[in-house]
Amino acid sequence: MITHSDLRGQIDSIRVGKINRKLIVYAPHKIPENRPLLISMHGAGQDANYQQSQAKYESIADTAKFIVVYPVGINKRWDISGTKDIEFIDAIIDQMYSRYKIDRSRIYLSGFSMGGMMTYYAATKIADKIAAFAPVGGYLMRGPNTASSRPIPIIHVHGTDDDVVPYDGSLVSVRAWAARNNCSSEEQITSPYPSEKENSCATKSYWGAGNEGVEVVLLTLKGKGHWHSTDANCVNSSEEIWNFVKRYSLASVKR
């Protein structure tokens, strides 16, 4: 049920079990069928409006023609050990297919902070439904879990001065996933990134194509804290995420 709409999207709800779950849906005007879906999950204590204001996917979606969904966690948190939010993601996918006839082989999941943790958790549960994953400033604090059903592409963005979710764990996580994907053991480093931007705070670490052609990327933001970067003098995280994930699709999916 759509409860409100404006230029920033529709405030919507989905019944999951016995609970009405909230989300914001942004669909470009007159979007055709068979387009991708990107789900962007907020951090703990935040909400979908805040995530939308920070990630700013709308202009990218208008150009590239994809749907963006910003879900709302129960009590502004995500279930990173159970099934409640895995079921929520499943329900989002089904509703977006019913409404927009999205391309179910091109569904992407991203999240900030605890939303990034949820992104990593989902990779171990529904890799058969999500083509690529993009955590920002978040990883599973108890250590990397790479028990996915298939190799998965990952781009992770993290600031070195993050005082909420320390940076060092991001490197542990992406290296574990690179090994699980059978990517090259030695990362290729581009610094600054992009190379033509001499004063960029970003460094790109890349682990080459592994099984099924998947890649792993870590964007390190030197001197930056716990945030979703849209800094013109560094990198725009949302643009980097989209440019990475859009290259991937699932060879086959369950309908």
Whole-model pTM? 0.94
Residue 222 has pLDDT above 60, yes or no: yes
**% pLDDT > 90, the chain:** 86
pLDDT category, 233, cuts 50, 70, 90? confident
Q: How far apart are CA 251 and CA 255, in angstroms?
A: 13
Contacts of 132 (CB under 8 A, 6+ apart): 108, 109, 152, 153, 154, 155, 244, 245, 247, 248
Residue 228 has pLDDT above 90, yes or no: no
Residue 41 maps to a domain: yes
Q: Quick: pLDDT tens for 86-104.
A: 999 999 999 999 999 999 9
Indicate which CATH number applies to the domain containing 147: 3.40.50.1820
**What pLDDT shows up at residue 65?**
98
Residue 252 has pLDDT above 60, yes or no: no
Residue 255 maps to a domain: no
Residue 54 maps to a domain: yes
Provide the number of structural domains found in the chain. Answer: 1
Q: Quick: pLDDT tens for 139-151.
A: 998 889 999 999 9
Residue 3 has pLDDT above 80, yes or no: no
Tally Cβ neighbours within 10 Å of residue 39: 25
Residue 10 maps to a domain: yes
Residue 202 has pLDDT above 80, yes or no: yes
Q: Give the chain's mean pLDDT.
A: 93
Beta strands in the chain (DSSP E): 2-6, 9-16, 19-26, 37-41, 67-71, 107-112, 132-136, 154-159, 188-193, 202-207, 216-221
Residue 248 has pLDDT above 50, yes or no: yes
**What pLDDT shows up at residue 105?**
97
What average pLDDT does range 169-177 have in this prediction?
A: 96
- The residue that leads in pLDDT, 3 or 154, is 154
**What pLDDT shows up at residue 16?**
97
CB of 127 closer than 8 Å to CB of 152:
yes
**What pLDDT shows up at residue 234?**
86
Q: How far apart are CA 103 and CA 80, in angstroms?
A: 26
pLDDT category, 169, cuts 50, 70, 90? very high
Residue 252 maps to a domain: no
Range of the domain at 135: 2-245
Residue 253 maps to a domain: no
Structure tokens at 199: 């004063």
- The residue that leads in pLDDT, 211 or 251, is 211
Q: How far apart are CA 189 and CA 203, in angstroms?
A: 7
Q: How far apart are CA 109 and CA 124, in angstroms?
A: 13
**CA separation, residue 198 to residues 75, 190, 194, 202, 203 (Å):** 42, 12, 8, 10, 11
Q: Quick: pLDDT tens for 72-90.
A: 999 999 999 999 999 999 9
Question: Amino acid letter at 35?
Answer: R
Residue 122 maps to a domain: yes
CB of 63 closer than 8 Å to CB of 31:
no
